[in-house]
Amino acid sequence: MRKEHHSADLDRTACYAALKAHDPRFDGRFFTGVSSTGIYCRPICRVKLPKEENCTFFMSAPAAEAAGYRPCRRCRPELAPGLSLVDSTSYLAQKAAMIMEENCLADMKIADLAAMLDVTDRHLRRAFTERFGVSPVQYLQTRRLLLAKCLLADTGLSITKVALYSGFGSIRRFNDLFKKYYRAAPTAFRKSEKAMTENKETITLTLGYRPPYAWDELIEFLAGRAITGVELVKDGIYSRTVAVHNGKELYCGWISVENKPKNNSLSITMCAALLPVLTKILARLRRLFDLNCDPIEIYKKLSVLDELTPGLCVPGLRLPGCFDPFEISVRAVLGQQVTVKAARTLAMRFAHAFGGTITTPFEELQYTFPTSETILSLKPPIENNLGPLGITGARGRSIYALAEAIETGSIHFTSDADPKVQMEKLLKLPGFGPWTVQYIGMRAFSWPDAFPHTDYGVKKALSNLTEKEILEKSQEWKPWRSYAVMNLWNSLKENKMNQEVSKK
């Protein structure tokens, strides 16, 4: 007998209509368990439509699995996009879920997670069950299984490595859970015999998103700010070097990201050296490319921008996040009151002077961006180190203060951190004014409601309004003001293009 974990909040009629239409806007918002097959699917699945009476709808994949359903091998529920922070009916549960997905809690218990979030484990369990329909333990177990299923289907990693990198403590436990929940051995999820041959140099995985996705606008934004030697945008593909800590170990390598619009997903290729920090890499990429965004909901709210200028609000526009919060924060400091090009040059000098060197398949990628630990280890005064690069003493001291705050733990960029609290702390650091902090909020924290109202581009796009009027007007765009800023910046680009055309 299957247990009933479906949500009373889900409207059966609406869910079945979305399932019947294969509507991608609902992908990841609910999952359908089919009693006649014992399988659960995403609403976009193209299998034969089941009868409505055979369908049970669930808020999450873990809830479907807890009820005894197995994941569909065609639509692959592990690829469904997640929910952004503002989407969540329980901010606490959503933060806990993000931490789980980033770390798989390999060395942490649920009680430790609750303590990290400053709540009792009982309260966390209650919030989690209300939000996802399952306990935190069940959710974590399903996330591990789905990641393992993804690795089995998309890579040639050995079974032992799949178990290890998806967070399982033992191969025996890994095999037992696959047989219990999926009624098959892990090897049954290999796509072909060819996939059994392990690629020792790279792996390629897929991350899904909800359409529409304004990829061209996002990749153009990243290209204009790419640090030479660290980042590369070529032929619509974003590549970069990475350096990620896992405890005291630092793992360095490279990643490459390509859009696959027909599949509503991004193809992620990375060097095998990054496998020990795989979950961290994937979590950072979700943030960088804003994969948990609900573009339809945001467009509904921000379509009022079209009253200012027709076509100002772009459907599917994403908020560019960051891969490394320290990196983007340093770049925000370097970008104070200078052009994007000048800030990019300073960031390049900074990376080449203090970053590590690395070998990649790309001639253009040779350096990793310096860590906060590296900057803190420089012989004082910091001005002597950064001054020769063209970085002013004031900005050098700001960067050093930031590195110190991160290393001492007074400021956190982790998944459990409250963006508003951390942004208030940043304001107290020397040289961190409202514009810098709001920009860091947008990109380092992926905070959807950051609003740098003093920004030159924002004021130029709204040239007929005073700063006070801009702030008042922005209240109409809450809680998506970061996305409004992106639309305003893009409007300047469009205006410039139109002016150049008219001159011709």
Rounded Cα distance between 415 and 96, Å, is 8
Task: Check if 294 is active-site.
Answer: no
Which structure tokens are listed for 13?
Answer: 């009629």
Please give the average per-residue pLDDT across 473-498, as a whole number: 86
Tell which wins on pLDDT, 139 or 443.
Answer: 443
Q: 409 pLDDT exceeds 90? A: yes
Give 215-232 pLDDT, tens digit per residue: 999 999 999 999 999 999
Q: Residue 378: what are its φ and ψ, rounded to 5°?
A: -65, 145
φ/ψ of residue 265, rounded to 5: -155, 165
**415-449 as b/e, with b when 16 or more CB fall inside 10 Å?**
bebebeebbeebeebebbeebbbbbbbbbbbbbbb
Average pLDDT over every residue of 384-389 = 97
Is the bond preceding 452 in cis, omega lying within 30 degrees of 0?
no
Angle among Cα 324, 326, 329 to the nearest 5 degrees reads 110
**Alpha carbon distances (Å) from 350 to 332, 354, 392:** 13, 6, 12
What is the 8-class DSSP label of residue 451? -
Mean pLDDT, range 67-93, rounded to an integer: 77
Between 342 and 88, residue with greater pLDDT: 342
Give tens-digit pLDDT for 178-192. Answer: 999 999 999 998 876
pLDDT of amino acid 1: 37
Ranges 22-26, 231-235, 446-450, 458-462: which has the least confidence: 22-26
Coil vs helix vs strand at 411: coil
Count of H-run helices and E-run strands, the chain: 21, 9
Confidence of residue 196 (pLDDT cuts 50, 70, 90): very low
Higher-confidence residue of 200 and 443: namely: 443
CA angle, residues 319, 324, 330, in degrees to nearest 5: 95
Query: Which pTM does this prediction carry?
Result: 0.85
Phi, psi (5° rounding) for residue 177? -70, -35
Q: How confident is the model at residue 477 (pLDDT cuts 50, 70, 90)?
A: very high
Catalytic residue, candidates 290, 294, 449, 455: 455
- CA dist list (Å): 441 to 180, 399, 451: 43, 16, 9
- Confidence tier at 2 by pLDDT (50, 70, 90): very low
Tens of pLDDT, residue by residue over 113-151, are: 888 888 888 888 888 888 888 888 888 899 899 999 999
355: tokens are 């970053």
Q: Which helix (H) or strand (E) holds 12?
A: helix 12-21
Tens digit of pLDDT for each residue in 84-105? 554 444 677 878 888 888 877 6
Q: What is the pLDDT of residue 87?
A: 47
Query: Got the DSSP string for 244-271?
Result: EEETTEEEEEEEEEEEEGGGTEEEEEEE
Q: Please choose, from the candidates 490, 224, 486, the residue with its C-alpha nearest in 3D space to the C-alpha of residue 342.
A: 224
pLDDT tens, position by position, 255-269: 999 999 999 999 999
Measured from the Cβ of residue 468, the count of other Cβ atoms closer than 10 Å reads 9
Q: What is the pLDDT of residue 97?
A: 84
